Amino acid sequence: MNLSAKPTSAFPIEAADRLKRLPTQFFASLVSKVNRQIAQGHDVINLGQGNPDQPTPAHIVTALQQSAPDPKYHKYSPFSGYGFLKEAIAKRYLDDYGVELDPETEVAILFGGKTGLVEISQCLLNPGDVCLVPDPGYPDYWSGVELAGGRMAFMPLKEQNGFLPDYSALSPDDVNKAKLMFVNYPNNPTAACAPASFYDDTIEFAAKHGIVVASDFAYGAIGFDGKRPVSFLERPGSKEVGVEFYTLSKTYNMAGWRVGFALGNADVVRLINLIQDHYYVSLFGGIQAAAAYALTAPQDCVRQLNDVYESRRNALFGALSRIGWEAKPSDGSFFAWLPVPKRYSSAEFADLLLNEAHVMVAPGIGFGTHGEGYVRVGLLSSEERLEEAVRRIGALNLFG
């Protein structure tokens, strides 16, 4: 949002302080750079964004087509959503993770996972309260904390620690003042996955210090090499300290449908439902019906999509190896996290690739201070385009 745009009103209209505190929308600037290159006639391979490139599976689209004409869905939906959708996500978690959820008290329906990740800070933080945030991490965590007037204390994610936070290294003062913390595995942007032991440590840490855990499990369906990502809610004691955010955006290529969930601790779920009562009257019922079908129908499409991303990952890292760009292959998510040559900052390197190879990647600095030294690449183009992008980069002779 451009708060310094030329005034168009008859009198000065000033943004509220909470809007002035919001961080710059990082991805919007990437899009504008890409669009300038395209306008100049260049064939840009855009690997900088996280927008699924495949269509929603046909059986889910058909379910929407069948449910949309139903007049009962043309009225306001129940404020907290239809019970059948809550039951569907509860069944999915039981089948996939062995987690039992009470659909009425432990499930909140969200307008996409992003909405819940912003709302939870507004539900739990007062001005000045501390939130522990991964660095690097998803920038919208920052947005929610800023809107709540909270203060962020960053948890460095370092390669030598498997891109997991080291709770013992955090400031005792920050830990004692913290009321909320975000964790995110499979991780955006590092593509790391977390073992069950990490969640056990997190639950113990949160319980000891009275910190609510917000587990961002947006990429929970995407794991490689035969390893299924672990859900926070699988671990004993998880529902006593926090919630997990799940979305259909990545699992079923339903990013534009805006269907997500907050799952777990009943007190937190109640607060999220409360704040949403003041914002929304839930999702269109036809979408809820189609989403429920996506969750309860055979899950072949989920496995097939995971195979597509794994095949793309293998193609990308095989091509990277051929040009001498060495990096650890992704464990999960649909991203790759690649080290930048020492002589460049991440922003300089990203601009170089865009201007000289017409390949867009996301500079790591956009995800936090500890993202410096890396770029994020999305596995959201065909294997052929990914390999073409690496060939273009290889022609610049930046490695070896």
DSSP states of 243-291: EEEEEHHHHTT-GGG--EEEEE-HHHHHHHHHHHHHH---S-HHHHHHH
Q: What angle do CA 64, 382, 371 make, to 5 degrees?
A: 95
> Which pLDDT belongs to residue 242?
98
| 65: nearest Cα among 53, 54, 56, 76 | 56
Whether 99 and 217 have beta carbons less than 8 Å apart is answered as no
H/E element holding 152? strand 151-156
> Which pLDDT belongs to residue 23?
81
ω into 139 cis (within 30 of 0)? no
Distance, CA of 305 to CA of 52 (rounded, Å): 10
Distance, CA of 142 to CA of 9 (rounded, Å): 30
| 136: nearest Cα among 308, 305, 333 | 333
54 half-sphere exposure, CB direction, 13 A CA radius: 20
Query: In CATH, what number does 17-55+301-394 get?
Result: 3.90.1150.10
What is the chain's alpha carbon radius of gyration, rounded to the nearest angstrom? Answer: 21
> Which pLDDT belongs to residue 266?
98
Per-residue tens of pLDDT for the chain, all 400 residues: 556 566 678 898 989 988 888 887 777 778 888 899 999 999 999 999 888 999 999 999 999 999 999 999 999 999 999 999 999 999 999 999 999 999 999 999 999 999 999 999 999 999 999 999 999 999 999 999 999 999 999 999 999 999 999 999 999 999 999 999 999 999 999 999 999 999 999 999 999 999 999 999 999 999 999 999 999 999 999 999 999 999 999 999 999 999 999 999 999 999 999 999 999 989 999 999 999 999 999 999 999 999 999 999 999 999 999 999 999 999 999 999 999 999 999 999 999 999 999 999 999 999 999 999 999 999 999 999 999 999 999 999 999 7
CATH classification (class only), 58-296: alpha beta
> Which pLDDT belongs to residue 5?
61
pTM over 0.85: yes
- The domain locations on the chain are 17-55+301-394, 58-296
